[in-house]
Amino acid sequence: MKYLITLAFFLLTYSTFAQKPCEYSTNVTDSIGTYKVTNEYLVSEKYFGNTFDYIFFSLAQTDGLPTLNLQLIQKSKDFIKANCFDKNSKVFLQLQNGKVVTLLHVNQENCGTLLHDKDFNNRINTGIFMFMKDNYEELKKSPVTIMRIKYLTATEDYIIRGEITSEMNGKTYKPATYFMENIRCVE
């Protein structure tokens, strides 16, 4: 009887802590090298008046180099100010354990694309950020609590919540533990 209880406990514990499989939007290996990108994941959603801001993360690996793809989508009935990424742009991630992880933007200036439809102005901006070796491991150990993005001319702070139920699509996301659950997919 003890054996059955121990076995049942082990199986329940194992299934509870098992990692979910990595899902990729792109996974290519050819003569040039390898390139994989995880599916986009909502980490921040903000509504204020006529303005909607969404931030999505995806992790990429290009020939063994892991990077973070950050996509900012803004919708507004009003004018949308351009927040540009340049060689000095950074993403700072404040972890729950008090440490700060810094990601550096690749040397590629980008101010996004402004699109108009009949109801909204839309700006889509994408930045690619590189991890630094000295603090990469910290992202596996502790949830993110605050994200600071340094643009060309401005700095913005975002509170990273433990769980978001998106008003856009109704799905539930867990942005605080995004790196803890997904960074292994690009190692």
Between CA 162 and CA 174 the distance in angstroms is: 5
Q: What is the DSSP letter of 134?
A: T
Q: Indicate the number of domains in the chain.
A: 1
- Residue span of the structural domain in which 102 resides: 2-186
Between CA 118 and CA 35 the distance in angstroms is: 37
Ordered per-residue pLDDT tens for the chain, 187 residues: 555 444 445 444 444 445 678 888 988 888 888 889 999 999 999 988 889 999 999 999 988 889 999 999 999 998 888 899 999 999 999 999 999 999 999 988 889 998 988 888 999 999 999 998 777 889 999 999 999 999 999 999 999 999 999 988 899 999 999 999 999 998 8
| Interacting residues of 105 by C-beta distance below 8 A, sequence separation 6+ | 85, 86, 87, 88, 89, 90, 91, 127, 128, 129, 130
Show contacts of 22-28: CB within 8 Å, 24+ apart: 22/182, 22/184, 22/185, 24/185, 25/58
Tell me the pTM.
Answer: 0.84
The SS3 assignment for 163 reads coil
